[in-house]
Homo-oligomer: A and B are copies of this chain.
Amino acid sequence: MTNPKSEIRNPKLPKPLFHQMVVVGVGLIGGSLALAARKAGLVEAVVGVDSDPGHREVAVAQGMLDRAADRLSGSLDHADLVVLAVPVETITALLPEVARHADGGCLVTDVGSVKGPILAAGDLAFPDGRFVAGHPIAGRERSGPGAARADLFDHANWIVTPSGLTRPEALERLARLWQGVGSTVVRMEAAWHDGVFAAVSHLPHLVAYALMNAVVGMPHWEEQVRFSAGGLRDFTRVAASDPAMWRDIFLMNRDPILQALAAYRDVLGRLEDAIRIGDGDALIAALAQARIARGEISSSSGKP
């Protein structure tokens, strides 16, 4: 089935970078990439692979895909780009299968939030350097293809973590695609990426999950949360995230997360001690320090 929307092209658009992009996992990120790449004329055709029939139906109905399939086998025959947009443990599991089915000229990339183990698995599956590990820093509270937006990657950072094996021309061609959907491409070492995201993303999610669950474990918690204006409410966005995605991230980025968690527990323990012994000066110093970080985060993002 050919989706007629794919036939309408703006003549001013650039020559497509890829003939057939296969997006594996048509959720928020995969669906948004399909929409954005089609809209910008960067790909001629998009095939979506998803085991969830509801995801396939929504994605085709909303004009994200030219064709949807429920499995890799048979879907990669004419692909010159495969984008793995599934939970990170599934990415590493699928890489050898993609290598078996894809043509020799086909580039392969991923959008996972952990990079070291995926880069290692990608280099193993594609020893000719066709795998480019990536991570777009974009998201929404909602998940699934129904939440997808063509402008999700506009003004986002799209991190790439090439290895010594990664082919420079593969990296360059994908960088043009990510720039074409509005992102700034940022190059990083995979290990540095995993340490940074353990601190600024994975640990905060872990802390938020623990807080929500601690509250759920308290007596009469349903009555209590009625009064959670501010405070607890700030943590709820995180708890809306997809559990399978976060289970995989926590397991795959284990060591950097445990390291960041140990630092966090030290700080929390010192705050607890100050409360216990009534050390107001130590509390003021700690609370003032937190404002510094806030200022830095606000100024670096341009958002309040």
> Which A residues contact B (CB, under 8 angstroms)?
137-139, 141, 156-157, 159, 196-197, 199-218, 221-241, 243-244, 246-247, 250-251, 254, 257-258, 260-261, 263-268, 271-272, 274-276, 278, 280, 283-284, 286-294, 296-298, 300-301, 303-304
Docked Cα-Cα span, A247 to B267, in Å, equals: 16
Residue pair B298, A236 in contact (C-beta under 8 Å): yes
Task: Give, as a whole number of angstroms, the nearest-CB distance from A168 to chain B.
Answer: 24
**Please, which residues of chain B bring their CB within 8 A of the CB of A267?**
210, 213-214, 217
Residue pair B222, A296 in contact (C-beta under 8 Å): yes
Docked Cα-Cα span, A130 to B11, in Å, equals: 78
Docked Cα-Cα span, A200 to B236, in Å, equals: 12
**Please, which residues of chain B bring their CB within 8 A of the CB of A300?**
222, 225-226
Docked Cα-Cα span, A210 to B257, in Å, equals: 16
Docked Cα-Cα span, A304 to B236, in Å, equals: 9
Number of copies: 2
Docked Cα-Cα span, A10 to B209, in Å, equals: 50
Residue pair A263, B217 in contact (C-beta under 8 Å): yes
Residue pair A196, B227 in contact (C-beta under 8 Å): yes
Residue from B201, B230, B265, B291 within 8 A of A201 (CB atoms): B230
Residue pair A290, B231 in contact (C-beta under 8 Å): no
Docked Cα-Cα span, A36 to B258, in Å, equals: 49
Query: Given that A271-B210, A289-B213, A290-B209 are known contacts, is A230 also in contact with B237, CB under 8 Å in the complex?
Result: yes
Residue pair A290, B239 in contact (C-beta under 8 Å): yes
Residue pair A247, B280 in contact (C-beta under 8 Å): yes
Residue pair A278, B251 in contact (C-beta under 8 Å): yes
**Please, which residues of chain B bring their CB within 8 A of the CB of A293?**
212-213, 215-216, 221, 225, 236, 239
Nearest first, the 8 closest Cβ-Cβ pairs linking A and B are A243-B287, A201-B231, A212-B290, A210-B268, A200-B228, A214-B264, A239-B290, A204-B231
Docked Cα-Cα span, A183 to B297, in Å, equals: 34
Docked Cα-Cα span, A141 to B303, in Å, equals: 13
Residue of B nearest to A300 (CB): B226
Residue of B nearest to A261 (CB): B272
Task: Give, as a whole number of angstroms, the nearest-CB distance from A188 to chain B.
Answer: 9
Residue pair A232, B204 in contact (C-beta under 8 Å): yes
Query: Given that A210-B264, A210-B267, A294-B212 are known contacts, is A225 also in contact with B254, CB under 8 Å in the complex?
Result: no
Query: Given that A209-B287, A267-B210, A294-B240 are known contacts, is A218 also in contact with B260, CB under 8 Å in the complex?
Result: yes
Residue from B156, B247, B272, B289 within 8 A of A283 (CB atoms): B247
Docked Cα-Cα span, A228 to B230, in Å, equals: 20
Query: Given that A293-B221, A297-B225 are known contacts, is A200 also in contact with B232, CB under 8 Å in the complex?
Result: yes
**Please, which residues of chain B bring their CB within 8 A of the CB of A241?**
287
Docked Cα-Cα span, A265 to B250, in Å, equals: 18
